[in-house]
Chain A
Amino acid sequence: MQFPGFERTSSSFRDPDGFILKKEGIYHRFLPSTYLPIYQLLVESGLYQQLTSEGLLIKHEETDRFNNGLLITPEQIPFISYPYEWSFQQLKDAALLTLNIQYKAIEKGLSLKDASAYNVQFIGSNPVFIDTSSFEPFEQQLPWKAYGQFCQHFLSPLVLMAKKDLRLGNLLSTYIEGIPLDLTVKLLPFSSRFNFGLLTHLYWHAKAITQFQHKHTAVKNNPKINSFSKQKHLHFIQHLLGVINSLAPVKQKTVWDDYYQNHNYTNTSISFKKAWIQSCIARIKSPIKFAWDMGANDGTFSMIPAEKGIYTIAMDFDRNAVNEHCKKLNQLAKPYISNLLPLVIDVLNPSAGIGWNNEEKSGIFLRGKPDLIMAMALIHHLVQGINLSFDKLAAFFYEHTQTYLLIEFIGEDDSQWKKLNMNRGNLFNWYNEENFKTAFLKHFDIVNVTPIPDSARTLYMFRRK
């Protein structure tokens, strides 16, 4: 199918019932005429109205009608994120959203034909289901087709993060189809078998998949598969909801989860930095829409641009810190919630393109450039971590910010730097403020420099040349 003027996105090809087109930076969804009777059912059953009014499904407008289908334009997502970048809390919220939609869909005579975690996106802290063409008519006798997919995409990673280690959430970037259940049960502690929910939906389920893997049974019109009533479906979803609801992240100590408590930050220096960031943002006269806070930890500083209406991505590689940030946001009222998206991103190994031709899920740097990057107390860790030079760091920030950079320089006399550098000999003898400035001034102009009182730290506001 050709759509003059539109670009078909490389990630949208799996579902024949709808695909994404892009024109002038706006994303649209094309529904072919074969899918339109089901789309009508979604609208006429009242399910679309119910789900969108409850904020569960993305709203759209019918933009254009073609001979071969309908073009709808959904509300735009400010920043696309993927399940491997979500904290435990975010993945759990996305799982509950999917099950709630399935429950309400069954009640209205529809069902989700897939339960991919990639069908959910976040607008700030709010998960929303974005795949309007995921619905199909509910068929009484058939079990839920997407049950296996739901368990691989949601249950497996959540249980691994709840029972074993939060870092196992990173497996989702390796397994784009979700974490195989047989792998999950191998990684789980033995005690997980004593939980009936996990025993049924993971252990026995994994066994059944292996058992029946060579038995290709037709599901449609099979006289043996005719006993799955609507009530059974609803009970099944209710049970899964209970299992997901009962999961909580494993309690583990990570490097960064109490960073602000254990490091040489006094309340005064945190307040000083907050006031400085506020003054920098107030200085910017041109409208800025989008910011990244890199190494954001629990979002202490990310809230400042978000409060000013700037859509802010708070990135940190520590899953515990990001999860705490999400929990904190869930307790707050808007506007933080709609403007601030915490994500698990490792600055030293940022999300790359994955899937077919490495194009299905794009790398983090292809999803929109921020107008402003914040890097508070970050670069000394990057220097120590992988021996990054100031030249490399300056070039990195120059490449990724559209205009501004707020960055904190930790001097070589800082106690934290000395502690990290204790056993490194002369490896970082080039690390000083003069060399920092020389490297950054090749790409940026200084807008403001403010030393933090009683410390060896300096705050720089740069503008891209």
Chain B
Amino acid sequence: MKIKLQNKIAINIIRIIAALVVVILLFLLGDILISGVPHISWHFLTSASQSFASGGGIGVQLFNSIYLLLLTLIISFPISLGAGIFLSEYAPKNIFTSIVRMAIEVLSSLPSVVVGLFGFLLFVVQFQMGFSILSGAIALTFFNLPLLTRNIEESLRAVPDLQREAGMALGLSKWRTVTRVILPEALPGIITGVVLGAGRVFGEAAALIYTAGQSATNIDFGNWNPFNAASPLNLMRPAETLAVHIWKINSEGVMPDASAVSAGASAVLIIVVLLFNIFARIIGNSLYRKLTATK
């Protein structure tokens, strides 16, 4: 009897804790969305921000965030793909491999503000890249690399060894087996990881304050020459992202509608990150279904 009671109490405590997590999330989301969504309009999403007057939007910041995210992925994906393949398929059990593993672990536990400061000192100052999208993208790469590498390694590892043997037994080299058999099979997991990582990168602020900068220069959306300073594609222009914008408005915003802009921008940020999460699930599941032909 006593054991049954204990069991009951324990299960209920665990249930309450689990429910608490959901309640906290719902409360947070609800609060941000309720106060922010009313401020979202087409004008808000597309127009430039204002420093002193009210009625400013987040168009440039939104574009910067997306552009920076794409650049980060372009830089970090190939590197982590290579590192992930090495760690899962080729790495021998030796000191070198454990050093690589430890490096990835340390990198993933670095506070993002430290990564930002490092990027500031090295890229912005030492390499004279200035506050620029490129500096920001490299800083975010440091941030994204360990997550992505771990994700790719684990996705590859999850493919059964039988598949490797199948490829080898048909006379394929190890490399061809990895690229043509193992990688496609690991793809759903990899894509899910990339999209989830993208959500985290999208919302990152601390690493960008000192690297991509805090000013949204006026950019001309009619000019797509990446070498022109006013072009949205220019890599060397400072680029305030959505998350940095929110931080800045709340710390030093002087426009009359600062709190409204901040609430609206926060809501947009949360919605985009949520969309990333939902997309990750949908893409992962549908790819998995397609590969395994289960309905």
A in complex with B? no
| A residues at B contact (CB < 8 Å) | none
| B residues at A contact (CB < 8 Å) | none
